[in-house]
Structure 1
Amino acid sequence: MNQFNVKELIAEQDYLELLSRRFPTISKAATEVINLKSILNLPKGTEHFLTDLHGEYEAFNHVMNNGSGVVKRRIIDTLGKFLSQNEINDLASLIYYPEEKLQLVKDQEENLSDWYEISIYRLIQVCRDASSKYTRSKVRKALPVDFAYIIEELLHEDEYRFNKKDYYNQIIQTIVELDRADDFIIAISAVIKRLTVDHLHIIGDVYDRGPGPHIIMDTLINHHSADIQWGNHDILWMGAAAGDRSCISNVLRISLRYANMDILEEGYGINLFPLATFAMNTYQGDNCQKFKPKLSADDIVPDADIDLLAKMHKAISIIQFKLEHETVLNHPEYEMQDRLLLDKINYDDYTITIGSDVYKLNLRTFPTIDPKEPWKLTAEEKSVIDKLRYSFLKSEKLQKHIRFMFAKGSIYLRYNNNLLFHASIPMNPDGTFKKIKLKGLEKTGKELLDQMEQMAREAYFGREKKNNSTDFLWYLWCHQDSPLFGKDKMATLERYLVDDKKPHKENYTPYYLLVNEEKTAKMILEEFGLDPETGHIINGHVPVKVGKGENPIKANGKLLVIDGGFAKAYQKETGIAGYTLIYNSYGLLLASHEPFESVEKAVNDGIDIRSTVRVVEKVVDRKKISDTDIGSNLKKQIYYLEMLLSAFHKGVIKEKI
């Protein structure tokens, strides 16, 4: 126990008086110290890292359910000696999807009571193993109210103890007899999944491309412990929710490009009728061939709908190019003059000058563009974007999701000596941190990212007070100095209007070459106040092309890039269907996943995502809570509780009996 003199105690007397309201006696303060010191010696909780989900909610939900294979490993460790592989698969699918699995079993199983009793018994064994690294208090908080007492009894009683054997078995039998087995199985399956992963990290890009980012956000909001490092696609939706017109037009364009209207209309209640009406009227005789949506093999879209989507896609793309042009003109401090391209188009011969080169356009119909001021919106375009902006601002569900993104998110996170951020750190080619001027002051490294995050928060929460403040969220979406983007430009206009691929090239900023060197990774860790010898940088953003021999583990193990292609759009390029990272008390494990087939396959046939797990780093001594950030906070609490005990003993603070 720490020793304190009276002078030290008097200096902290005000705080100790406040603390004594919660721990009013020597007995209560001492009990809490005993509890906290004991917790420090428990194994470190399991952290789960995912990135670049891009709306693929079914694959995300499955990985959440199976904990990247952790749940099945629990089953094998607990019951592997007694169960066949088929039985292990069936029990795993029951835990992943209890409602669906129960319905299947009822249709197939002849002796349902026996199946219930055997399954409940097995689930209790797995749950007991999952709960073994936590205090009873923490486990109790994870239990559902309806079954809290029963589950706690079953978890902490030995079914083989002579005096309690019949008691234990009778609990299970009674659950079945009272027709509560379904509810119990659903409840205990949720507890197993809850206890398997202690904390979830999302390293950016929940949004865009896939069909269900709003479904993923609902899951994250209900998760017991999660954080998010913003990706460039997330910040785009955050800007749209703030009412930034350039961000709104980008969100709509990307949704139309992948025919994801359900996200906007059904997910967030965005009214697209004004855009649809405008597009049909303006591009009535234009088949908008270049703007046909990208459809997957599973998509079934009628030709008439494809025609409408293409027209809407073209309409919002032109609006976007105009709005972005005007944003650059309004912000000379962004130094994005090279992105002023609408006035570089020759509308007589349909060419565009980019740098010193002239390229042919693949479009010849621009009914809303005035060649003299090509960035000016027509009255109809302005009306459309204003109505869309109103719809984004008034979407309760979108605003709820984005407020959660701000509450649980950040540009970067330091967590258990690891540095988490989505994309990059602005750097110079010589390996130094790049100086960037914001609000008239030059900043670099950690200080720069802190300033950018503050400005992003001010842009959203102060959106009604300042003109053009939301433009900074668009800056973070596509500027070469944005740590969320990390390329020299976003060549959207070039890709849409020019077939020649030369101007499509987007070059990565120096970070991506430099950080492959161990010394650079260590320098970055030091800049953010982390131990360069034991810490790691964990990124997403850039898909790792496993099929071409790329390795997600870089810089001699200091950098882990875990974007392996959750988004189906990237899976041909990466050769896999995503990486996830697991950090438990034994070390770091990297899981690479094959594509998820379907919930039906998982339930009916016990088919899990096939995953390959490799050890990234194994610790010599198993990590305890005392080695974590939570442990550091607990040690501070112990310090002040021991100070309070000393104050009680020396009469500086009186017990409140």
Structure 2
Amino acid sequence: MDIKYLQLLAKEYPNVETVASEIINLNAITCLPKGTELFFSDIHGEYEAFLYQLRSASGEIKNKIDQEFCKTVTEQERIQLSRLICYPEQVLSEVTFSKVQLREWKKITIYRLVHMCKTVSSKYTRSKVRKKMPKDFAYIFDEFLNVTDDMNQEYYYAKIIDTILDIQMEDNFIIAICELIRKLSVDRLHIIGDIYDRGPRPDIIMEELHNYQDVDIQWGNHDISWMGAAAGNRALMANVIRMAISYNNFDVLEDGYGINLRALSNFAAETYKEDDCKQFMPHVHDRNQFDPVDFLLAAKMHKAITIIQLKLEGQLLNRHPEYSMEDRRLLEKINIEKNSVAIDGKEYPLIDCNFPTVNTESPLELSQEEQYLMDVLAHSFHNSRLLHKHIRFLYAKGSMYKKINGNLLYHGCIPMTEEGEFYPVSFGNKDYKGVELLDFLDVMVNKAYFHWDNTKEQEEARDFLWYLWCGSNSPLFGKSKLSMFENYFIKGSKGKTEIYNPYFRLIQQEEICKKILKEFDLDENTSHIINGHVPVRLKEGESPIKGNGRLFIIDGGLSKAYQPKTGIAGYTLIYSSRHLSLAEHKPFCPEKEDHLIGCAPALKVVETMPTRILVGDTDNGTIIRERIKELRILLNHYRDGIIKETKQK
């Protein structure tokens, strides 16, 4: 081993005692059970449902309460304890006891919460638990979690609780310990893409993730759209605004990210004042709390930004013939005299023929007013501090795919041919496929945001993010086309078919899933693929389990827009030290008083581990063993006098 590296290591471990202590500590850690991993996909801005699922650890907290208290505490009390851990402020405000009863209830509750905290912390070292503790009560938590059954210790324990009640700090303490239980219940959080669009407040979700200790994100095409908008791609700026208006999500634009929509509102009201824009009425799944907009005005804004987007996309495709998407420059294919459009060699009548800003001589050119509007919007995107904070977090924690603890995580697909081979996608003068394709795309995504400003290379990378959003060979999209224009301007279903990549059919076969795992250097017989992107239509008999248990699709419709089709409200996957479980969620109904009971997921164990998985069996265990090996070499160098010991400060 390089002596210079060992000398650097010696600065952290300056003598035999410190090295020996760390070797003992690391060896002990490898014998602890693996922490619970929680997998989410396709959250789509549904912050209330997501926060509930995260706070409840997808039902795992209630399960642990049942395991610990099923013989001593009633079902109703166990439900209340579960609700308290999820939403302590709300539950404490609802409690209606007399003063004496309230003190007794809080005392018993604190005992039960301490017991639960001990249970969920038992997998971790004391140092890791301390790092997760809220600072204000860290000392007390540490005492509680390490108290023995000794009578003196029990008296000490009870005295602390009585003092908390006497000085009226019990509510603060309960809130803090509930937070700690939630943190300890999930060791690592995996987000398999599509945090943004359709739902009301993806910014709230991003803020929650930003404050989470251990999280990784595999980008979805909706995330890439926002990342491209923040990077300066104007077609994607128009796209994220169009999507938000389409679902009546003005709060995320204006209150969340401070995107100034006044110029768009004024432009749309004037340009489309005689247009009913009935094809552009927003889908209303959620009401805006801060920025309500009249539906007719919203429809006009929706149409205005859609036409601008179609122009900007056409310009982008003119710059990139290598995308082979000339057929999507549809504004150029409109026949004003016939009120029709040519798509894939067929003529379709238009149901909306009012295009006041489209110049038939140059249909992709922005009008002067549209150009000014986009300048205003681009200024808002460039200067939104919160947006760039969240986008930088997406970059810091995100990637096209991730391999962790025998699982392969990605959002969309690995493009494949009908015959089950990896499809070669051409960029520049080279073909990419399989893992090489995703590695190449990861580099391109980073260049779009971080490369030197306004170089040709960065401009091409920015444009490329649009291709990742909806390109036919994009692994994040995985369909032949995005039928946006057809859905707005053509009646019926003709011409609107979006053909999925063969991948989505082929993954029913175990050998295909194994082929993908092998491509990514994972054990094809024990590893799993965890995938999102395409909602599982449970009500039509579809299963989230593919390839004989080698692949899980966990997009089950957390987005309200999908729930009528799926019949449920999404899946989460739970990977504990003992099993893999799928949590099948019900629609989140906060308007119902007992919604936390009614929303409890149905848990199904899909794989039981032959033996309990320890930290030493995980990827982190491999890193720890490598560290131990280095420390043993350093220890020998100290003992042989090759490296001199120093005193600790």
Q: Normalising by structure 2, report the TM-score.
A: 0.97
1:307 aligns with 2:296: yes
Name the residue aligned to 1:7: none
Match runs of 1:186-335 below 5 Å: 186-296=175-285, 305-335=294-324
In structure 1, the residue matched to 2:568 is 576
The residue number in structure 2 matching 1:501 is 493
CA distance in 1, matches of 2:199, 2:475: 23
State the shift of 1:438 in Å: 2.0
The alpha-carbon deviation at position 303 of structure 1 amounts to 11
Counterpart AA for 1:133: K
The yes-or-no answer on 1:520 pairing with 2:509 is no
* C-alpha distance in structure 2 between counterparts of 1:354 and 1:168, whole Å: 75
Distance 1:182 1:132 in 2: 25
458-467 vs 351-360, greater mean Cα deviation:
458-467
Describe the SS at the equivalent of 2:402: strand
Is structure 2 residue 51 aligned with structure 1 residue 61? yes
**1:395 matched to which residue of 2?**
384
Q: Kindly provide the amino acid, as one letter, of the partner of residue 491 in structure 2.
A: D
Cα 1:370/1:96, change in 2 over 3 Å: same
2:443 to 442, 454, 457: 454
Partner SS, residue 179 of structure 1:
coil
**Corresponding position of 1:643:** 633
Partner of 2:577: 585
Counterpart CA distance in 1 for 2:98 and 2:471 is 57
For the pair 1:134 / 2:134, whether they are aligned, the reply is no
CA distance in 1 between partners of 2:632 and 2:445 (Å): 41
What is aligned with 2:540?
548
Of 406-415 and 454-463, deviating more is: 454-463
Tell me the equivalent position of 1:535.
527
Provide the rounded CA distance (Å) in 2 between the counterparts of 1:507 and 1:31. 59
Distance 1:319 1:71, change over 3 A: same
Indicate conservation of the 8 Å contact 1:601/1:607, yes or no: no
The answer to whether structure 1 residue 31 and structure 2 residue 21 are counterparts is yes
Distance 1:208 1:631 in 2: 37
User: Secondary structure of 1:99's partner?
Assistant: helix
| Separation in structure 2 between the aligned mates of residue 135 and residue 644 of structure 1, nearest angstrom | 24
* Alignment deviations for residues 380-432 of structure 1 (CA, whole Å, 9 cap, x no partner): 11111111011111100000000000000011000111100001011122211
Task: Name the CA distance, whole Å, in 1 between partners of 2:322 and 2:360.
Answer: 26
The farther-off stretch of 105-114 and 14-23 is 105-114
CA distance in structure 2 between the aligned counterparts of 1:303 and 1:123, rounded to whole angstroms: 41
Distance 2:451 2:592 in 1: 46
Amino acid aligned to 1:516: Q
Identity value in percent:
47
- 8 Å Cα contact 2:34-2:615 kept in structure 1: yes
Deviation per residue, 1:427-477 (Å, 9 max, x gap): 122211111222322221111111111011101113722243311111100
Q: Report the AA paired with residue 549 of structure 1.
A: G
Q: Tell me the distance in 1 between the aligned counterparts of 2:72 and 2:33.
A: 27
Instruction: Show CA shifts across 1:114-150 (max 9, x none).
Output: 1111110000000000001111111111111211111
User: Contact between 2:412 and 2:531, CA under 8 Å: does it hold in 1?
Assistant: yes
1:6-48 superposed Cα distances (whole Å, 9 cap, x missing partner) = xxxxx52111111111111111101100000010010011000
**Code of the aligned partner of 1:260:** N
Residue identity matched to 1:422? H
Tell whether the 8 Å contact from 1:589 to 1:616 is kept in structure 2 after alignment.
yes
Aligned mates of 2:409, 2:622 — CA distance in 1: 19
User: What CA distance in whole angstroms lies between the structure 2 residues aligned with 1:599 and 1:130?
Assistant: 31
Q: Following the alignment from structure 1 to structure 2, what is the Cα–Cα distance between the partners of residues 301 and 397?
A: 17
C-alpha contact (below 8 Å) 1:291/1:310 kept by paired residues? yes
Instruction: Check the 8 A contact 1:241/1:392 in 2, yes or no.
Output: yes
2:607 corresponds to: 617
SS at match of 2:113: helix
Whether contact under 8 Å (1:147, 1:184) holds in the other structure is yes
1:125 maps to 2:125:
no
> Which deviates more from structure 2 when the two are superposed, residues 593-602 or residues 190-199?
593-602
**For residue 647 of structure 1, what is the amino acid of its counterpart?**
H
Where does structure 2 lack aligned partners over 5 or more consecutive residues? none
Q: 1:443 aligns with which of 432, 436, 445?
A: 432
Q: TM-score, normalised by structure 1?
A: 0.96
Query: 1:256 & 1:164 partners in 2: Cα distance?
Result: 60
Distance (Å, rounded) in 2 between the aligned partners of 1:462 and 1:143? 38
CA contact (8 A) 1:13 1:652 kept: no
- Asked if the contact 1:255–1:261 (Cα under 8 Å) also holds between the matched residues in 2, the reply is yes
Contact (CA 8 Å) 2:224, 2:465: kept in 1 or not?
A: yes
- Secondary structure of 2:642's partner? coil
Asked if the contact 2:254/2:291 (under 8 Å) is kept, the reply is no
Per-residue deviation, 1:73: 1.3
Call closer, same or farther: CA 1:309–1:448 in 2, change over 3 Å: same
Mapped pair 1:380 → 2:369: yes
**Comparing both chains, which one has the higher relative contact order based on Cα–Cα distances under 8 Å and sequence gaps of 6 or more?**
1
Q: In 2, Cα distance between the equivalents of 1:343 and 1:546? A: 41
Aligned residue in 2 for 1:4: none
Aligned amino acid, residue 88 of structure 2: P
Q: Is the 8 A contact 1:68 1:591 kept in 2?
A: yes
Between the aligned partners of 1:600 and 1:147, the Cα distance in structure 2 is: 34
Q: Contact 2:250–2:292 at 8 Å: present in 1 too? A: no
* 1:342 positional shift: 1.4
Instruction: Report the secondary structure of 2:294's partner residue.
Output: helix
| Contact map agreement 1:359 1:500 (CA 8 A) in 2 | no
1:91 corresponds to which residue?
81
For residues 127 and 404 of structure 2, the distance between their equivalents in structure 1, rounded to whole angstroms, comes to 24
Query: In the alignment, what sits opposite 1:559?
Result: 551
Change (3 A) 1:29 1:553: same
Who is 1:510 aligned against? 502
Q: Distance in 2 between matches of 1:241 and 1:496?
A: 26
Backbone CA RMSD of aligned residues: 1.7
Q: 2:72 matched to 1:82?
A: yes
Residue type matched to 1:621 in 2?
T
Query: For residues 437 and 419 of structure 2, what CA distance do their matches in structure 1 show?
Result: 18
Q: Which piece of structure 1 moves more, 32-41 or 110-119?
A: 110-119
**2:481 paired with 1:489:** yes
Using the alignment, how far apart are the partners of 2:289 and 2:161 within structure 1?
Answer: 47
Find 1:633's aligned residue among 623, 640, 644. 623
Structure 1 distance, partners of 2:490, 2:398, is 37
One-letter amino acid of the counterpart of residue 55, structure 1: G
Report what 2:395 is aligned to. Answer: 406
Cα distance in structure 2, aligned partners of 1:319 and 1:504:
21
Alpha-carbon contact 1:240-1:248 (below 8 Å) kept: yes
The alpha carbon displacement at 1:608 in A equals 5.1
Distance 1:555 1:338 in 2: 35
Mapped partners of 2:289, 2:590: distance in 1: 18
Structure 1: runs of 5 or more not aligned: 1-10
Residues 356 and 14 of structure 1, relative CA distance in 2, 3 Å threshold: same
Deviation at 1:298, TM superposition (A): 6.3
After superposition, the Cα gap between the structure-2 partners of 1:475 and 1:463, relative to the gap in structure 1 and judged at 3 Å, is farther
In the alignment, the residues of structure 2 paired with residue 575 and residue 559 of structure 1 have an alpha-carbon distance, to the nearest angstrom, of 21
1:207 maps to a residue whose letter is Y
Pairwise CA distance, 1:110: 5.6
- Give 1:370's aligned residue: 359
Q: Is structure 2 residue 350 aligned with structure 1 residue 361?
A: yes
Q: Is the 8 A contact 2:343 2:495 kept in 1?
A: yes
Q: Is the 8 A contact 2:586 2:601 kept in 1?
A: yes
